[in-house]
Amino acid sequence: MESAWLKRWKMRMQMKSPIAENRRGRKLLMKPPEVGLLTSVADSLFQAATGMNVTDAHGGDLSRGLEEVPVLFEGLAFHTFQYSPDNVQGPGSTVDPSEVTLPGCSCLSHSCCIDSCSCLHTHGQTYDSTGMLLNLNRTDSGFCSPVFECNALCTCSDDCSNRVVQRGLRFRLQVYKTRDRGWGARTLEKISHGAFVCEYAGEVISFEEARRRQLAQRSEENNYIIAVREHAGTGSVTETFVDPAQVGNVGRFLNHSCMPNLVMVPVRVHSVIPRLALFAGRDIEAQEELTFDYSGGYSNQRPAELLPMQSDAQARRTDGLQKKVCRCGSNNCTQFLPLDLSILS
C-alpha cells in the first residue's frame, strides 16, 4: 500500500525535490514543490482530458489521495480551495514550514524513553504509549502548552510513541452540510479522549498579511484566519497566523462551539513553525460534529469581551466591526463568534 507522501509526489506530476538522509539512512523529504500551483495544473489537465472532477475521480475523497484516510464529503460538488494536508509558506512568512529546522534525537530504540531521549528530556513526555495526549489542559487558564515530537532527523523508528501528529489522519471524517451553520465536519467512528483528530492546516502568513486579509474581507465571507500566541518566559510571545481559505485541509470545515469537543494544541515536528493540532477533549461518538473554540481555549468560560452588562448592540459591534452570531446551541453560548481585534489594531 502506498504511503501518503508517495501519493503526493505522483499527483504532483512526479517532480523531483531535494532529498537528505538521516543517520540511519532513511530518506527525508526536505522541501516539496509548490502545492497549489502544481496540483491546480494537474487538476486542469485531468479534467480537460476526462471531463471528470478530480475529487469525483478519487471516489469522493476530498483530499484526493493526499491523506492516509480518505476525507469523505456529502453533497459537495465544487471546491474553491486547494487541499493540502500540511501548512504551506504564505505571503510575509519568512520560514518555510516544510524545512527541517529542529534537532533530532539519536535514539536507536523502537520507541523513545524519557530517560535517554533528548527530545523527551528537553520538552517532556507528551503522549502515552498508545499516542494519546497526556494532560490536555496543562495550565490553569485552560490553554495548552506547546508540544514537540520526534522529527525527520531523529533516529528512532517511525512507530515511536512520540510521533503522532506527523502521521496524519487516522479517523474517517466527513464534510457535510449542517442545518444552519454552512459546512461542517463530523467523525464516522468513535474517537477516544486525548486522540489526535486532525490539523488546522493552511497558509502560514505574517501579521501584516493577516491584517490585510481581515480588512479586505466582506461581511458575508467566512473568516478562516487563526492566530496562535505562545507565551514563553517573561514577556516573550510567539505569534503564528494560519489561513486555510485558499490552501487548507479538512480542518477548515470545523465549526466553532462554545462547548467544543476538540482542543487546539501547537505541535512542533520538523520546523519551528507549529502545526495547529486538534485533539479530542472528551470521548466523541460516531456521527458527532467536530468543533473547537475559535478563541483557542477549552475552559468553556464566558470571554471578558462579552460580559453580561454589555447590551446586545454593544456586543454585536466592536470598533465598528460587525460580529457574527454564534449558532452552536450550547447552554453556555456567548451569542457571538470570537473576534481577534489584535490583528486589526
Catalytic residue among 83, 127, 294, 298: 294
CB 149 within 8 A of CB 141: no
Instruction: Tell me, yes or no, if 294 is annotated catalytic.
Output: yes
Return all residues near 320 (Cβ < 8 A) that are at least 6 apart: none
Cell representation of residue 231? 507565551
Return all residues near 270 (Cβ < 8 A) that are at least 6 apart: 98, 99, 100, 101, 102, 151, 152, 153, 166
* Separation in Å, CA 151 to CA 26, 139, 159: 12, 25, 12
CA distance 95 to 93: 6
Q: Under DSSP, is residue 344 helix (H, G, I), strand (E, B) or coil? A: helix
Type of residue found at 272 = V
CA 215 distance to own-chain centroid: 23
Check the CA dihedral 257-259-263-264 and report its sign.
positive
With residue 4 as reference, give the H or E element that holds it.
Answer: helix 4-11
Q: Within 10 A of 51 (CB to CB), how many other CB atoms are there?
A: 7
Catalytic residue among 83, 200, 224, 298: 200
Residue 250 main-chain phi, psi, to 5 deg: -65, -25
Cell representation of residue 178? 449542517
Cell representation of residue 259? 462547548
Return all residues near 34 (Cβ < 8 A) that are at least 6 apart: none
Please tell me what DSSP assigns to residue 158.
T
Cell representation of residue 108? 536507536
Q: Under DSSP, is residue 8 helix (H, G, I), strand (E, B) or coil? A: helix
Instruction: Tell me, yes or no, if 200 is annotated catalytic.
Output: yes
Task: Catalogue the active-site residues.
Answer: 200, 294
